Amino acid sequence: MGEQTADRFADDPAFAVHEGGKLSVTPTRSIDSIADLALTYTPGVARVSSAIAAEPDLARRFTWAPRVVAVVSDGTAVLGLGNIGPSASLPVMEGKACLFKDFGGLDAVPIVLGVTDVDTIVETVAAIAPSFGGINLEDISAPRCFEIEARLRERLDIPVMHDDQHGTAIVVLAALRNAARVVGREIGDLRVVVSGAGAAGVACTKILLEAGVGEIAVADSQGVLHAGRGDLTPTKQWLVEHTNASGYAGTMVGALEGADVYIGLSGGSVPEAAIAAMAPGCIVFSWPTRRPRWIR
């Protein structure tokens, strides 16, 4: 059975990269003698632990916590895959930990939770927080993600960030500024259509508004958010009050006609004709639904 399972994935290089997971724990010091063992563990470690107990701030000097980030997910909103559960989300969290190390020089530990209740997630993350210098919330579905992040930020004395919101928003704003420069446009003159009113869509819309984007329409699966909708959550109500100044009540495809920017932050696809109907020199940020040719 094991050989058959291995053969199923032999031709896909992605599975080879993930075989056995992508992370390991490597000590910063080797244990080469009895003296090393006695200092690394008992009895030497007791002196360090006693000092920290007397002066808690010493933990920042004598433990790994300040340089380690917890990457926490419940697997309810993974990439473009949706609610796939904690086990299936673990490769993604391992990958994020690899990015922290390679691009930021920080160690990170992926933690997937087998619960989705907001209170339980908050209590669980708060309980493990002393082991870490920061919390990176990842792929937690909206609107729960907003409350979880807000409550943890208020409760903990270490940084807490929901990457799907703020990481995505920062990258989108930076890319849009550069793209606008390339096409010779001012960011304040752009009309933007955002597909998706989840965590990423909300955060991107907020940061673009703060950056001075001229006009933004946000669409969910039912169409563009507008005041006439009767199915609005508090978050979507906020979007209605701060976007879509023209009161357009149609579909996302309709909103794209003449638009300068499309930002795709939800599942599904956009007809080619809708992109063709956008303004000349339009800017499109979209997640590819097909595997690029350079990935075999």
Neighbouring-strand partners of residue 160: 135
| Residue of 22, 41, 236, 262 marked active site | 41
Token pair for 173: 């704003």
Structure tokens belonging to residue 276: 């063709």
Distance CA 164, CA 145 (A): 9
Active site residue 41: yes
Catalytic residue from among 96, 206, 236, 262: 96
For residues 282 and 193, give the distance between their C-alpha atoms in angstroms, rounded to a whole number: 11
Query: In this structure, are residues 245 and 222 in contact, taking their beta carbons and an 8 Å threshold?
Result: no
**96 has catalytic annotation:** yes
108 Cβ contact partners less than 8 Å away, ≥ 6 residues apart: 68, 69, 70, 71, 96, 97, 100, 101, 136
Q: Is the N-terminal amide bond of 143 cis, ω within 30° of 0? A: yes
Distance of CA 28 to CAs 24, 25, 64, 190, 251, Å? 13, 10, 10, 50, 56
CA angle 294, 82, 233 (to 5 degrees): 130
Q: Which residues are catalytic?
A: 41, 96
